[in-house]
Structure 1
Amino acid sequence: MKGTFVLQERNRSSRADWQPDILGEGFEQLTLDLPDGAPATLVRYSPADTPPGGERAGAGDVLYVHGWSDYFFQTELARYWAQAGMRFYALDLHNYGRSLRPGQSPGFTTDLTGYDADIAAALAAMGRPVPPNAGQAADSGTPARPLILLGHSTGGLTLSLWASRHPGAASALVLNSPWLEFQATELGRRIISPLIGREAQRHPLAPLPPVDAGNYARAVFSAFGGEWTYNLLWRPLRGFPGTVAFLNAVFRAQAVVAQGLRLDIPVLVLLSDKSYLQPRWSADAEKADVALDVDVVANRALSLGNCVTVARVPDALHDVFLSAKPVRRRAYAVVDQWARGYLPAAPEAAPELRAGPQSISS
């Protein structure tokens, strides 16, 4: 309890330390000091109507967590939630993006629960109480504002398990192509996992064979005709070199999901309608998930809880919100439709993002 109090006080006192962010007008960042010494970074979006020197009131808080070899740069996503009256925050985890420091191994972790400190520090900086210990329900002192957790890929896996360990802390979970299961199915993971686990104990930094052929970057990065520009040091064209420790952490987390998380909050899982997992380039990569087997993930998503909506977005990429604009419009419309049924303050897409009513498939 004492450590939690110190963490809350340190981050409350640092609110004045918000600095302009690289994303430009309306975006600010705050460095979060973590117990192990590797910092995390919280980014917030404050629209033009935010009072000078303060945060605007919001119907709820959205906390976004990125995936592997990634960081937050999706300004359109922030504006979407802000227009709905939500306060939007994004977390660059330690060893990633804005938080990456010289000498660190990018993305290195031995356990996804190691990000609990990042999330706790972020919530404290957002003015929310640090949740109680895992397995204990949040008390009545939790703010009335709902907390919507929004995670992409490995970030979606991380937040799913965090929500399970902290019941009552979040009001809803939105997952953008979450890495809930191994591409080679559960059987493949169970066969490989013991070997990876032993190697992770002996040589945690041992590199994995490269698997990213660069198809994803070719589909999204502006230099190749895509719509998006980002920092290649923080999001390399072929991803960070993977380590056996990281894969072991993911496998262990996926095994927990496979047992069933029993989340008692509404969950929305956004996925492409198809995968393209070939090493060679094809135009098909511009209209498919090139990282996950979306059918395997769709099936595993049903292990999250009792109120799970699986929405398949035609022609979506691995990050659904980096897809072509017509596809993004469909994705935002799906979020609108889901939110009207499950969120206390339902978002409404900006006019340029609206695509009309959309069906949600499971």
Structure 2
Amino acid sequence: MPIRDTESAHHEPADYARTVPEGTWVADHLGRGYSYTSLHHGRDPEADEPGVDVDGPADLVATLVRYRPEPELFELPRWPFARRRPRTAVLYVHGWSDYFYNTEIADFWDGLGARFYALDFRRYGRSLRPWQTPGFTTDLAEYDSDLESALRTIREDLADVERIILAGHSTGGLIASLWVDRNPGRVDALVLNSPWLETHGSWVVRLAAAGIVDRVARRRPKALVPLPDVDFYWQSLSRQASGQWDLHPLWRPRYAFPIRAGWMAAILEGHARVAAGLHIDVPILVLTSDHTVISTHFTPEHLQGDSVIEVDVTRQRALRLGPEVTVVSVPDATHDLFASKPAPRAAAYSAIRRWATGYVSGLSAPD
């Protein structure tokens, strides 16, 4: 399989979010109730690579978004001696070539009585900077510090937090699962939305690909892995096509970020770890579509099935995450269940509500 090098596309500074001091919350583009802070991790080593031109600071950051809905007009204060409801926080992490944009998710968790936060990993979304290779890493454990910083900031921001639910989509679900396995006792539950737990084509394809990719990744980690350019998933998401969502063209590009050898090697290693079995000791909810769509061109089927992962293999791999796993299949859902059509989206939310109000104390099921 030939792998080539390439230069990243040029974008204007206006495409990038502003870096702010850690702990300083500024208004987010999502609108009322949303703000973000930068989580700093020193100077980005990529800024010092040959041929990289950085104009100004070269901070490596992740970005934490929080949702604070404004109180209803004329809302009465709680009786000061009333028993305080236990406080739960949700930390949501995105998938490959993605970022947090779905405000409906925040509204849902707020309706259950949880405080909602979302993390844009380093080199993604609000954290992406002009000199960086979008989404690039050679080790999924690199995101540990992003998650650690996010959890620390949540606990500082929400002093009386008693439990935290970690929620992850697709590649974010893989990263979250591996992190929780390595860090027992840090969160209280795990919710996975179409997690990418195995290579497309199952372990046979993974083993064959790993032998090729690993050799290249050791020598040229940023070499491109030539894969077909398809936009089926984007078409199911974007309001510019057949979807319902306004997407940032740099943060959620039509054809996704270029696949690099070093990143692919890290993903294959993560899949191998899941296949060997994890030991996550908190309740896990895994949601997927009920079927995968395989096609050489975009069809209406892509609006009611998963065009990214093989859902049957994912459900099998999910049982290797830990001893307490609930797997839910949602008819006609897309890869991101919460960007599906209204009916499967509502079914996915209902599944979380049933599960969360049973497994996580302090949450309520609104009428």
Matching residue of 1:44: 66
How far does the alpha carbon of each residue in 1:96-129 deviate from its partner, in whole angstroms, 9 at most, with x for none?
0000001100000000000011111111111269
Matching residue of 1:238: 255
Matching residue of 1:145: 162
5 Å-filtered alignment, 1:1-362, equals 14-15=22-23, 17-37=24-44, 38-49=60-71, 59-127=87-155, 145-348=162-365
Deviation of the 1:279 alpha carbon? 2.6
Rounded Cα–Cα distance in structure 2 between residues aligned with 1:144 and 1:102: 36
Deviation of the 1:248 alpha carbon? 0.5
Alignment check: 8 A CA contact 1:72 1:91 kept: yes
Deviation of the 1:191 alpha carbon? 2.0
SS of residue matched to 2:209: helix
Amino acid paired to 2:90 = V
Q: Structure 1 pair 57/74, CA: closer, same or farther in 2 (3 Å)?
A: farther
Matching residue of 2:16: none
Amino acid paired to 2:69 = P
Alignment check: 8 A CA contact 1:34 1:121 kept: no
Q: Structure 1 pair 225/144, CA: closer, same or farther in 2 (3 Å)?
A: closer
Rounded Cα–Cα distance in structure 2 between residues aligned with 1:157 and 1:316: 20
SS of residue matched to 1:175: strand
Alignment check: 8 A CA contact 2:89 2:161 kept: no
Deviation of the 1:327 alpha carbon? 1.1
SS of residue matched to 1:169: coil
SS of residue matched to 1:269: strand
Matching residue of 1:4: none
SS of residue matched to 2:174: helix
SS of residue matched to 1:200: helix
Greater Rg, structure 1 or structure 2? 2
Rounded Cα–Cα distance in structure 2 between residues aligned with 1:211 and 1:36: 34
Rounded Cα–Cα distance in structure 2 between residues aligned with 1:284 and 1:293: 15
Alignment check: 8 A CA contact 1:57 1:87 kept: no
Alignment check: 8 A CA contact 1:61 1:87 kept: yes
Rounded Cα–Cα distance in structure 2 between residues aligned with 1:209 and 1:190: 18
Q: Identity of paired residues, percent? A: 43
Q: Structure 1 pair 193/128, CA: closer, same or farther in 2 (3 Å)?
A: farther
Q: Structure 1 pair 233/58, CA: closer, same or farther in 2 (3 Å)?
A: farther
How far does the alpha carbon of each residue in 1:246-291 deviate from its partner, in whole angstroms, 9 at most, with x for none?
1110011111111111111100000000011323111111100010
- Structure 1 gap segments, 5+ residues each: 1-12, 51-55, 130-141, 352-362
Rounded Cα–Cα distance in structure 1 between residues aligned with 2:250 and 2:264: 21
Deviation of the 1:35 alpha carbon? 3.6
Alignment check: 8 A CA contact 1:58 1:85 kept: no
Q: Structure 1 pair 299/164, CA: closer, same or farther in 2 (3 Å)?
A: same
Amino acid paired to 2:190 = L
Rounded Cα–Cα distance in structure 2 between residues aligned with 1:151 and 1:347: 21
Amino acid paired to 1:220 = L
Deviation of the 1:195 alpha carbon? 1.6
SS of residue matched to 1:127: helix
Q: Structure 1 pair 212/345, CA: closer, same or farther in 2 (3 Å)?
A: farther
Rounded Cα–Cα distance in structure 2 between residues aligned with 1:36 and 1:200: 24
Q: Structure 1 pair 296/19, CA: closer, same or farther in 2 (3 Å)?
A: same
Rounded Cα–Cα distance in structure 2 between residues aligned with 1:159 and 1:278: 29
Amino acid paired to 1:224 = A
TM-score calculated relative to the size of structure 2: 0.84
- Structure 2 gap segments, 5+ residues each: 1-20, 45-59, 73-83
Rounded Cα–Cα distance in structure 1 between residues aligned with 2:37 and 2:344: 32
SS of residue matched to 2:155: coil
